[in-house]
Chains A and B, each alone.
Chain A
Amino acid sequence: GAGVSQTPSNKVTEKGKYVELRCDPISGHTALYWYRQSLGQGPEFLIYFQGTGAADDSGLPNDRFFAVRPEGSVSTLKIQRTERGDSAVYLCASSGQANTGELFFGEGSRLTVL
């Protein structure tokens, strides 16, 4: 499809487990963002890529969270030793021109940590 694709759409895991969430942005978009949305809240910034490099990772809550974008296209958000507080919808967005500000969002990956 032409839009931002996120997999899995739903992930249930146990506390302490490792999780990977994948984002496939719109073809040609150089900017990629990860946000986290908890129930009743707006999207909370995690990390921003420009090309292959993380231009800003100031939103990552702690060192259990890590993200990569090795070829400047698909990105993977990795969460180690998951905790119940990590339960949220993880949103990925891409942008063709970071300076215009418009983001194109995927439908999100809902993570539930039991």
Chain B
Amino acid sequence: AQSVTQLGSHVSVSEGALVLLRCNYSSSVPPYLFWYVQYPNQGLQLLLKYTTGATLVKGINGFEAEFKKSETSFHLTKPSAHMSDAAEYFCAVRDASGGSYIPTFGRGTSLIVHP
């Protein structure tokens, strides 16, 4: 069975500061890993994903995440926060192959950006 833990239900940063949103997963098989973002009154949209290959993946809006197998982590970062980054962020995991095609989501982290 898969599970996702997102540490911190809320993260608050100043505009221009580093953004770090934490995600740890549990999976019995090699995982695919995802970060989704949900802006107010909108559906979830994919920020970035790791499937195979390079462990540092870049996504939209300057975000990136690094898959660290030894730490079972997939933390999301952005060097400089912008006011428009304020949103809910969800980490998700699913089996890479031969297993379930159903992503399991974390509880989400609300990113607050203040001037």
Contact = CB atoms under 8 A, between A and B. Distances in A.
Given A43-B44, A91-B43, A101-B94, A33 B102 contact: yes
Given A56-B100, A102-B49, A107 B42 contact: yes
B38 to A, nearest CB: 8
B74 interface: no
Interface residues of A, number: 27
Interface residues of B, number: 26
Interface in B25-79: 32, 34, 36, 41-46, 49, 51
A103 B46 contact: yes
A44 B76 CA distance: 21
B34 A101 contact: yes
B29 to A, nearest CB: 13
Interface of A: 3-4, 31, 33, 35, 40-45, 48, 55-56, 91, 93, 98-108
29 contacts: A31-B101, A40-B9, A40-B108, A42-B107, A43-B44, A43-B90, A43-B105, A44-B105, A45-B102, A45-B104, A48-B102, A55-B101, A56-B102, A91-B44, A99-B97, A99-B101, A101-B49, A101-B103, A102-B46, A103-B36, A103-B44, A103-B46, A103-B103, A104-B45, A104-B46, A105-B36, A105-B43, A105-B45, A107-B41
